[in-house]
Structure 1
Amino acid sequence: MSAANSIMRPRTARGRTTLNAVAVAVALVWVFPIYWMINTSLQPTSTVRVEGPAPVPLEFTPEAYLGVLADQSFWTALSMSLRVSLLAVAVALVSATLAAVALSRFRFRGRASAVVAVLVIQMIPAEALFISQFRMLSDWGLVNTVLGLSLLYVGTVMPFIVWMLKGFVDGVPADLEESAMTDGCTRFGAFARVTLPLLGPGLVSTGVFAFLVSWNEFTLALVILSSGGRVTLPVWLQGFQEGISGTDWAGVMAGSTLIAVPVLILFSIVQRRMARGMVSGAVKG
């Protein structure tokens, strides 16, 4: 037995070393675009435009960041992105929570078909809906408005959020709500006091998903916000394309880095709850 163990130990050590090496290689591939973005944003615009960004630059300058921060259109686009994303997250979470509770707690005709429909709708390409969505918002007078764009984002993220939150609601025993109603709570009171607090990790993880989709979406924002200087941050980045002069890549990378800052702050705040929520939702769903 000891001889077998002595043979297995080197093999196990080599296997772990190989896995560690593969993990490091994958991490480097994942980190490299971030490094290249920050690296390019810190190099002089003239150098990047003429010679291209150096892999290991010898000269750093904050001119690209100062140019972005001094641009009033950046702050206007930031305000628009925040309003659209936060409104979309709020409406989507409230609507999806109610839909998830209905699909999980109530038995009604067509319930199974509704669950399947949620998944099928998620598979429809967004491009196939552009014309109908634009005409719908035009009829409602919501083209080029925060509310109109937010409603489209709600429709985009709703199927996934409903499906995931249903798994969380399924994981909360209905007996807890029944016990609360026995003690005098209404059905809504039992849900608000018992089930809703237990859905916290799920609400956080799905809320972050909805925020990321709304924050980074480009095509719908380009189509719906068509006039009046109203743009979201991804559309605002187009401004660094200077026609025949080329693209100001240092400005693009500086703007992209600043766009990522709110997302990093959000992740740092909800990281633990989100990780726990994603794992729990996968197990319960």
Structure 2
Amino acid sequence: MRALGRPLVYVGALVAVVLFAGPFVFMVLSSFKQPQELNGVVNGFLPQSLYTGNYENLFATGNFPLYFVNSAVVALLTTVLALVVAILAGYALARFPFTGRRLLLLAVVAMQMFPAVLMAIPLYKILRNLGMLDARSGLILVYVTFALPFCIWMMRNYFVTVPKEIEEAALIDGCGHFRALWRVLLPPALPGVTAAGAFSIILAWDEFLYANTFVNSDEKRTLSVGLDSLVGQYTTDWGQLLAGGVLMTLPVVLIFAFLQRYLTQIAGGGVKG
């Protein structure tokens, strides 16, 4: 039975790889196809030649570099702000007893239940009153709001797993709470920080609804909205759209490849509630 189970595991892993990586591989190959291949005049799974015109036209005819920079700035600042607040809040929820702590934690987790569409109108009015419409700062504020519940929950659960005796020993040796947090609690919680950061950067990188609703200026658009502008009412430049999709997906793939060894520790070590 064990001898039969190993091949089944390999087959299942192969099927999963094909299902998840297949669309990306197809997108990469298609981005190097010529217009007549993409329009169906010439059929074939593989490109006839390594045609780079789609990438050249993407950078030459549009504001793709500006969209890329906007997305990078928004995603980076969202991640940094979310992690700073989540680490401090998670530490407080894990270490400091106060009235209503469990209720506050449940409220933080419950915030994840609200769909994005439901919050669009209230957030629009808040940003309008703050004068932050059509601004990257307003978009960052909204993304931090949505990233915080998961990040706080993740950091709190990781801090709980660190024995209190280690932190108490650091405090006795003269460390303050912030220094103990930095030197004692954060190193064991690094997988949680990585997971929270990955969640935040992905949320801000590929989000479309709020980026399309709260930002109107072309020079402030993010990648998701910028690529959507390539889809016309009557015609669509599939070559540029596929090339843009590859360049938008590639940073995410590289980030997960770099953080893989930290993310796998979550599955291996588990998280205590």
Scaled by the length of structure 1, the TM-score of the pair is 0.89
Partner of 1:83: 73
C-alpha distance 147-96 of structure 1, shift in aligned 2 (>3 A): same
1:137 to 106, 109, 127: 127
The within-5 A match list for 1:149-228 is 149-228=139-218
1:67 to 53, 57, 63: 57
Query: Are the equivalent residues in 2 in contact too, given 1:40–1:53 (CA < 8 A)?
Result: no
C-alpha distance 188-57 of structure 1, shift in aligned 2 (>3 A): closer
Partner of 2:13: 23
Partner of 2:105: 115
Instruction: Kindly provide the amino acid, as one letter, of the partner of residue 239 in structure 1.
Output: S
Greater Cα radius of gyration, structure 1 or 2 = 1
RMSD between aligned residues: 1.9
Moved more, 185-194 or 99-108: 185-194
Q: In the aligned structure 2, how far is the partner of 1:129 from the partner of 1:52?
A: 46
2:85 to 95, 117, 133: 95
**1:277 Cα deviation from its structure 2 partner:** 4.1
**1:108 Cα deviation from its structure 2 partner:** 1.1
Q: Which segments of 5 or more consecutive residues in structure 2 lack a partner in the other structure?
A: none
Q: Deviations over 1:242-278 (max 9, x none)?
A: 322x211121111010112222232232221232245
Q: In the aligned structure 1, how far is the partner of 2:62 from the partner of 2:238?
A: 19
The within-5 A match list for 1:261-280 is 261-277=250-266, 279-280=268-269
Q: Does 1:284 align with 2:268?
A: no
Q: In the aligned structure 1, how far is the partner of 2:127 from the partner of 2:267?
A: 34
Q: In the aligned structure 1, how far is the partner of 2:9 from the partner of 2:183?
A: 46
Moved more, 30-39 or 131-140: 30-39
Q: In the aligned structure 1, how far is the partner of 2:239 from the partner of 2:176?
A: 58
Q: Does 1:260 align with 2:240?
A: no
**1:63 Cα deviation from its structure 2 partner:** 0.9
Query: Are the equivalent residues in 2 in contact too, given 1:204–1:277 (CA < 8 A)?
Result: no
**1:72 Cα deviation from its structure 2 partner:** 5.1
Greater helix percent: which structure? 1
Q: Does 1:49 align with 2:71?
A: no
Instruction: Kindly provide the amino acid, as one letter, of the partner of residue 39 in structure 1.
Output: L
Query: Are the equivalent residues in 2 in contact too, given 1:172–1:198 (CA < 8 A)?
Result: yes
C-alpha distance 52-233 of structure 1, shift in aligned 2 (>3 A): farther
Q: In the aligned structure 2, how far is the partner of 1:252 from the partner of 1:54?
A: 19
Q: Deviations over 1:16-54 (max 9, x none)?
A: 333322332232222221122112111112331244863
Q: Give aligned pairs, total.
A: 273
Instruction: Kindly provide the amino acid, as one letter, of the partner of residue 158 in structure 1.
Output: L
Partner of 2:136: 146
Q: Which segments of 5 or more consecutive residues in structure 1 lack a partner in the other structure?
A: 1-10
Identical positions, percent: 32
Query: Are the equivalent residues in 2 in contact too, given 1:149–1:224 (CA < 8 A)?
Result: yes
Q: Deviations over 1:170-217 (max 9, x none)?
A: 011121121112112222222222212332222122111110111010
Q: In the aligned structure 2, how far is the partner of 1:254 from the partner of 1:76?
A: 16
Query: Are the equivalent residues in 2 in contact too, given 1:49–1:248 (CA < 8 A)?
Result: no
C-alpha distance 238-20 of structure 1, shift in aligned 2 (>3 A): same
C-alpha distance 23-237 of structure 1, shift in aligned 2 (>3 A): same
SS in 1 for 2:132: coil
Scaled by the length of structure 2, the TM-score of the pair is 0.93
Query: Are the equivalent residues in 1 in contact too, given 2:136–2:220 (CA < 8 A)?
Result: no
Query: Are the equivalent residues in 2 in contact too, given 1:119–1:160 (CA < 8 A)?
Result: yes
**1:230 Cα deviation from its structure 2 partner:** 1.6
